[in-house]
Amino acid sequence: MPASIQRKFIFVVGGVLSGVGKGVTSASLGAIYKAKGLRVTALKADPYVNVDAGTMNPIEHGEVFVTNDGDETDQDMGNYERFLDTDLDSNNYMTTGRVYLKVIENERQMKYKGRCVQVVPHIPEEIIRRIREAAKRHDAHITIVEIGGTVGEYENLLFLEAARMMKLQSPADVAFVLVSYLPVPAHIGEMKTKPTQHASRALNSVGINADMIVARGRLELDKPRLEKLAVFCGVSRENCISAPDVPSIYQIPVKLEEQDVGNKLLKVLGMKRRQTDMKKWHDFVHRILQPEREVKIAVVGKYFGTGDFTLADSYHSVIEAIKHASWHHRAKPVLEWIDSERYEANPAKVKELAGYDGLIVPGGFGSRGIEGIIRAIKFAREEKKPYLGLCYGMQLASIEFVRHVLGKKTAHTVEVSPDTAEPVIHINPNQAANVRNNRYGGTMRLGAYDCALRRGTKTHAAYGADLVSERHRHRYEFNNEYREAIDAAGLRVVGINPESDLVEIVELAEHPFFVGTQFHPEFQSRPFRPHPLFRDFIGACLA
């Protein structure tokens, strides 16, 4: 048995406003400790009552990030996986709903042996159990725990209470980082520390004092501001860290490490200083900031009129995967979101797609905008524009092919047209029963499944392997009744799940690059390891 290690925990909490960058800060801390040769894992604790992120509207919540073990989690988990270059699982994610559900299940099973089950201590105790369990599962020296929401609000109090209790249990093993925001009001023109002072007080009122403040804002922290933060928030001056806006989130590990953030927190945790090898990150940032050319990608889907911010959030991993692949080719990705409904109103408009180097149709649900998407896919197929279809993008590419190449005009998915005579995309009986009985939460085909690849195809060449594993999140499937026909007509079935014989990848012969995947390859793209299909798709776009 290897000697047991002293596990350390860093809690990251947010002050002043949401969206301040807790997730990227947490992920960056993880990257730094990895670059120090330590084993690291990261958890997200989300305050909402939903058991997972799968039942929330993407407009409200952003992307649902799927882990290998099929958990439907928050997009911050994607940032952790990308920055840590590691696979996480359901141990790394919790919500208020999930914690309560477990405590209530325990109570029903008499696990509290007749005691009165209380919000405190039983809820924080279950939170702590989960944090320690994740640390153990990943055998982590350092476990980073990001608490969702902002200090001072009601919803995340029990997570903060759990953090406080852990600090009491083992004071030397727990550190707190407050990621806060310092606004620069236009009429004043300088950074203001007061909101952060209030956030720090709010944290004090729940029994926690920050060990470090990461000061987010438009500008660098100057000396007077730093002084104020240190004095009024009770944080040492050296632990007030400047984190101004930067062009790319992938610069943040480098920026933080320039201020020796990793060692400063190790000191809080009673650990020795360690060298950091940030070369990979430096090289990567150089690639990002010094592109040699551009690649122009159209992302076609149904888009809601809520502005770019939310939209980009809903496809976070897709965007990151496009970036990783583009940077691999030393190209700067230029993404444009195209609302497919414009091609329904005006089919001739589809010709505008000639102005792009390639086309992506990401995942989606429901009927809105899909006829427009099918028009865009037809254009990509006929005009030989590189195409990558992700999940719904694969299903709709198959429907387009059956309609226009096999001539079966009514071809459809039963998701949209339950009684279609040509159900190219259908539903298996288990899934149909889930839908009939309103069993929506956590019941899709979720998580990693094997996929056997056909040799001599672009897909096989991209992966350079016969068998791969990819993550899924969908309810409907390609109908094997159509398999031989599409394959013979040129939309080749090149990836199959060996256990279920389900179609996982289709690829057009006689086309520079036209691939549709039933799974979501974007979840496994990493900064230093772009996903092979995205990589070769962008390669084809640049060719």
Strand partners of residue 505: 495, 517
The span from the CA of 398 to the CA of 454, in Å, is 18
Query: Residue 112 or residue 440: which is nearer to ligand GLN going by CB?
Result: 440
**Beta strand pairing status for 240-244 and 293-301?**
unpaired
Helix (H, G, I), strand (E, B) or coil at 200: helix
Q: Which among 271, 125, 270, 29 has a CA at the least distance from the CA of 133?
A: 125
How far apart (Å, rounded) are the C-alpha atoms in residues 329 and 332?
Answer: 9
Nearer to ligand GLN, 159 or 392 (CB): 392
- Which amino acid is located at 62 in the chain? G
Give the residue with the Cβ less far from ligand GLN, 201 or 475: 475
Shortest distance (Å) from residue 425 CB to ligand GLN: 7
Nearer of residues 89 and 415 to ligand GLN, judged by Cβ? 415
Residues carrying an active site annotation: 391, 520, 522
> How far is the C-alpha of 502 from the C-alpha of 496, rounded, in Å?
6
Using CB under 6 A as the criterion, which residues of the chain lie in contact with ligand GLN when the complex forms? 363-365, 391-392, 395, 415, 473-476
Which residue's beta carbon is nearest to the bound ligand GLN? 363
Rg (CA), the chain: 25
Both tokens of 42, joined, read: 């990261």
Q: Whole-number minimum distance, CB 485 to ligand GLN, in Å?
A: 21
**Residue 535, both tokens:** 């990589």
Q: Which two tokens stand for residue 436?
A: 């009939």
Nearest 10 degrees: Cα torsion 468, 472, 474, 479: 10
DSSP-derived secondary structure letter, 526: B
Least distance in Å: CB of 27 to ligand GLN?
24
Q: Which of 508, 514, 523 is nearest to 474 (CA)?
A: 523
Which of helix, strand or coil describes residue 260? coil
CA distance 123 to 459: 48
Measured between alpha carbons, how far is 100 from 106 in angstroms, rounded to an integer? 10
Q: Which is nearer to ligand GLN, 147 or 396 (CB)?
A: 396
Coil, strand, or helix at residue 1? coil
**H or E element, residue 462:** helix 458-463
Angle 263-264-266 from CA coordinates, rounded to 5°: 60
Shortest distance in whole angstroms from residue 299 CB to ligand GLN? 13
Nearer to ligand GLN by Cβ, of 217 and 389: the residue is 389
The nearest distance, CB 394 to ligand GLN, in angstroms, is 8
What single-letter amino acid sits at 539?
G
